[in-house]
Amino acid sequence: MSKVRLFVEHPLGAGQCVPLTGAQAHYLFSVMRLGEGDGLALFNGRDGEWRARVAEVGKKGGALACEARTAPLRLPPDVWLMFAPLKKARTDFIVEKAAELGVRRILPVATGFTGAERIRRDRLQAHAVEAAEQCGGTFVPEVAELAPLAAVLEGWDPARRVMWCDEARVGMAVALDLPPGPWAVLTGPEGGFSEAERARLAALPFVVPVSLGPRILRADTAAVAALALWQFHCGDWR
Ligand code: SAM
């Protein structure tokens, strides 16, 4: 069986014929050099992982035949990443690493000091798909549209706690006393959180401020470190 893993939107099941888009056909037949009868693994974020074979090769399309399920859908723990987007490559990095580390949802939030005013949601979603293809995941987290932090907090379900990475706690002990349940990890932009944002976050009962150790981390490092800490203490790394 080939090591090629491909994400498709199509439903997966025994005997299903999965049509390919032009981009998928290019990747499979021109880049990975698969031909008729060759095997690969498919997932769609809902039906687990399936063994499939190339049934039809075309220049602008083709088809795969789905054979048997090789792994069930493995959902990551119920943690979201909420982060202030940075410059393009660093935002791409955060989304890719969050999908690899295992999150259910990715929420880019605009804060007072956020440098990036818009994001390309479709591009970021494609990075999450590629990360899942590469790391053996069977689930792809949804990347939400950029929304103001204040509005996101306004409509927040208080049952989901927020692990707020608070740069003012730099140097304090990394003491994570996080009860079980749904969580979101929140990291700020390069400029940190504004005084007004800090006051708002500190007053919310579902927000738990945490330190990420003795050094101020770059925002992209902070997102990865915070998710790793959460996964170790509360998630599926335990
Ligand atoms: N400009 C800010 C300052 O000098 O205090 C630093 C912002 S830091 C580059 C970006 C984000 O990473 C912060 O908003 C915070 O969420 C997170 N962060 C970085 N280092 C941290 C630490 N040691 N403890 C908690 N959060 C940290």
Q: What is the pLDDT of residues 91-130, one digit of tens each?
A: 999 999 999 999 999 999 999 998 777 899 999 999 999 9
Instruction: Identify whether residues 63 and 114 lie together within a single domain.
Output: no
For ligand 1, atom 5, which residue shows the shortest CA distance? 167
222 C-alpha vs ligand 1 centroid, how far in Å? 7
Please state the rounded mean pLDDT for residues 187-194: 96
**Contact criterion met (CB below 8 Å) for 80 and 183:** yes
For ligand 1, atom 1, which residue shows the shortest CA distance? 191
Instruction: Identify whether residues 96 and 29 lie together within a single domain.
Output: no
What per-residue confidence (pLDDT) applies to 45? 96
218 C-alpha vs ligand 1 centroid, how far in Å? 7
Instruction: Identify whether residues 48 and 117 lie together within a single domain.
Output: no
Share the mean pLDDT of the chain. Answer: 95
Per DSSP, the residues of 90-124 read HHHHHHHHHHHH--SEEEEEE-TT-S-S---HHHH
Instruction: Identify whether residues 142 and 205 lie together within a single domain.
Output: yes
Please state the rounded mean pLDDT for residues 209-238: 95
Query: Which among 41, 71, 101 is the end of a domain?
Result: 71
What per-residue confidence (pLDDT) applies to 115? 75
141 Cβ inside 6 Å of ligand 1: no
Instruction: Identify whether residues 93 and 66 lie together within a single domain.
Output: no
What per-residue confidence (pLDDT) applies to 171? 83
For ligand 1, atom 27, which residue shows the shortest CA distance? 167
Q: How far apart are the first and last CA of the chain?
A: 31
Instruction: Identify whether residues 27 and 102 lie together within a single domain.
Output: no
Instruction: Identify whether residues 26 and 128 lie together within a single domain.
Output: no
Instruction: Identify whether residues 151 and 36 lie together within a single domain.
Output: no
pLDDT in tens, 128-162: 999 999 999 999 999 999 999 999 999 999 999 99
> What CATH number is attached to the domain comprising 16?
2.40.240.20
121 C-alpha vs ligand 1 centroid, how far in Å? 24
- Domain coverage including residue 128: 79-234
Query: Which among 45, 71, 97 is the end of a domain?
Result: 71
Instruction: Identify whether residues 114 and 194 lie together within a single domain.
Output: yes
222 Cβ inside 6 Å of ligand 1: yes
Instruction: Identify whether residues 13 and 112 lie together within a single domain.
Output: no
**Between these two residues, 177 and 13, which has the higher pLDDT value?**
13
211 Cβ inside 6 Å of ligand 1: yes
Domains contained in the chain, number:
2
- In the chain, what percentage of residues exceed pLDDT 90? 90
217 Cβ inside 6 Å of ligand 1: yes
Q: What is the pTM of this model?
A: 0.93
Instruction: Tell me the residue type at 180.
Output: P
Query: Which among 71, 90, 123 is the end of a domain?
Result: 71
Instruction: Identify whether residues 64 and 116 lie together within a single domain.
Output: no
- In the chain, what percentage of residues exceed pLDDT 70? 99
